[in-house]
Structure formats: structure tokens, C-alpha cells
Amino acid sequence: FVGSETSSDGEIPKLNVLTLKDDTLFVKDRMLYGVNPGVELMDFAASFENDEKELSLTVISTQFVGTGTVVSLVRDGEVLDELTLVVDGDLNGDGKIDGADFELFGRLLMNKGELKGAYKTAADVNGDNAWNTADYINQKMNRTFEEE
């Protein structure tokens, strides 16, 4: 069994890497994609094959997982694997796409701020490897349709 070690009882293999149950989620360059806005912490933790007692979530919001959430596989105090979450359109990391994200995006478009890492990736809503007005409009339109 690749990426595992035998547990102390000798029966159940323990995973040494974060392993996803949900095939709608995917990893690229140590970032985790495919999580929708509004996913609660416990629901997110259930997306992994790993023992929940070995998962550590570093979150910005207390209710939802959002952009910048770091999920770590920790065993005996050692971090074995780690991924950073990207939620498309969630620029402030609160796990929601709302007016605060649109306000931040507007300031960025006027060159009044900068995003880095997972937050910059989250701004690229249409996946063309650049964040620009097209992403802002795309996100705004999607939000309008979701509210109807």
C-alpha cells in the first residue's frame, strides 16, 4: 500500500499523505481546488480518507473553510503533508462569496491592493491564469443568478 504505514495494531494502514474521497476536488501545486463556498469545517474534513484525529485545519473563518485554509496531516507532532485551499471568488478567505470579495476585487482592479498565493489564484475565476475584469464580471453574473 503506497503512501502508508501499518498502524500500531498491525491491521489498518495509516496514510502518510492527504488522500481525497471526493473526486470533485483536485490538487495542483500543493493547492486544493473544487471546494464550493459555504462548506462547513466538519463537512470539509469528511472529504479526506485520513483519520480525522490526524487532520489539522488552519482557518480564517470559524464557520466555513475558505481560500487560504491550510489542511495538514499531523502524526505524533510531525506534519506529513499539507495543502492550501482555493475557493474560486473567495478573495478574503471567509468561505463565502459576498460583497466584501467584490469590494476587494474592485480595489485590486484599480491597483489599490495586491493578492498573493492562494488568494491571487482564487481571483482567477475563469481559469485563464490572470485576474482581470473578465473574472470580476463572471463572478458577479454567477452570484446574480444564484440569488434568483
pLDDT tens track for 60-114 = 777 899 999 999 999 999 999 999 999 999 999 999 998 899 899 988 888 888 8
Q: How confident is the model at residue 148 (pLDDT cuts 50, 70, 90)?
A: very low
Name the strand (E) or helix (H) holding 78: strand 78-85
Mean of the per-residue pLDDT values for the chain? 84
Say what the pLDDT of residue 5 is. Answer: 47
Q: Which residue has the cell 459555504?
A: 38
Question: What radius of gyration, in Å, describes the C-alpha atoms of the chain?
Answer: 17
- Cell digits for 90? 473567495
Please give the span between the terminal C-alpha atoms of the chain, in angstroms, as a whole number: 48
Angstrom distance (rounded) from CA 128 to CA 26:
17
Q: How confident is the model at residue 7 (pLDDT cuts 50, 70, 90)?
A: very low
Please give the residue that has the higher pLDDT: either 3 or 55.
55
Angstrom distance (rounded) from CA 10 to CA 115:
47
pLDDT digits (tens, 9 = 90+) for 32-50: 999 999 999 889 999 999 9
